[in-house]
Amino acid sequence: MAEAIRIERDGDIAVIVIDNPPINAGSAEVRRGLLAAIETIGGDASIRGAVLIGAGKTFIAGSDLREFDRPLQEPQLPAVIAAIETCGKPVVAALHGAALGGGFELALGCDGRIALAGTVVGLPEVTLGIIPGAGGTQRLPRIVGIPAAIRMIASGERVPAAKALALDMVDAVVDGDLRPAAVAFARRLGHGKTRLRDCGVPVADDGEIAAASRDALKAGRNRPAVRAAVEAVGTAARLPIDEGLVRERAAFQDLRLSRDARALRHLFFAERESARHPDLAGAMRRTIERIGVIGAGTMGTGIAIAALDGGFQVVLVEADDAALERGARRIADHYASRVATGRLGEADAAGRRFRLTAGTDWAMLADVDLVIEAVFEDLAVKQEVFRRLDAVARPGAVLATNTSYLDVDAIAAATMRPQDVIGLHFFSPANAMRLVEVVRAAASAADALATGLAVSKRLGKLPILTGNAFGFIGNRIYAAYRRQCEFMIEEGAYPEQVDAVLESFGFAMGPFAVADLSGLDIAWRMRQARAATRDPQARYVTIPDRLCEVGRLGRKTGAGYYRYADGGKGRQPDPVVRDLIDRARAETGISPRSMDDDEIRRRALLAITNEAALLLAEGIALRAADVDLVLVNGYGFPRWEGGPVFLARESGQLALERDLDWLAGLSGPGFTRADPTPLLGHTPGRPVPSA
Q: How far is the C-alpha of 376 from the C-alpha of 404, rounded, in Å?
A: 10
Report the alpha-carbon distance of residue 530 to residue 318 in Å, rounded: 29
107-110 contacts, C-beta under 8 A, 24 or more apart: 107/52, 107/59, 108/81, 108/135, 108/136, 108/139, 108/140, 108/143, 108/196, 109/80, 109/81, 109/82, 109/84, 109/85, 109/134, 109/135, 109/139, 109/196, 110/52, 110/84
Q: Strands 120-122, 158-160: parallel, antiparallel or unpaired by DSSP?
A: antiparallel
- Put residue 391 in one of left, alpha, beta given phi > 0 → left and psi -120 to 50 → alpha: alpha
Is 172 in a helix, a strand, or coil? Answer: strand
The residues near 222 (Cβ < 8 Å, ≥ 6 apart) are none
- Gap between the Cα atoms of 479 and 603, Å rounded: 14
Give Cβ neighbours of residue 344 (< 8 Å, ≥ 6 apart): 335, 338
Residue type at 160? Answer: P
CA distances from 452 to 281, 445, 621, 624 (A): 14, 11, 17, 21
CB neighbour class for 518 (10 Å; exposed up to 12, middle 13-18, buried from 19): middle
- Of 442, 385, 446, 386, the residue nearest 409 (C-alpha): 442
Contact between residue 119 and residue 214 where contact means Cβ atoms under 8 Å apart: no
Neighbours of 272 (CB within 10 A): 10
Helix (H) or strand (E) run with residue 215 in it: helix 206-219
Nearest in space to 100 (alpha carbons), one of 150, 68, 64: 64
Catalytic residues, which ones? 105, 125
3-state SS, residue 346: helix
Cα separations (Å) of 437 from 405, 581, 648? 11, 35, 23
Query: What Cα–Cα distance (Å) separates residue 641 from each residue in 267, 418, 507?
Result: 10, 39, 10
Strands 672-673 and 688-689: antiparallel
For residues 318-342, one letter each, b for 16 or more C-beta atoms within 10 angstroms of the residue's C-beta and e for the rest, the string is beeeeebeebbebbeebbeebbeee
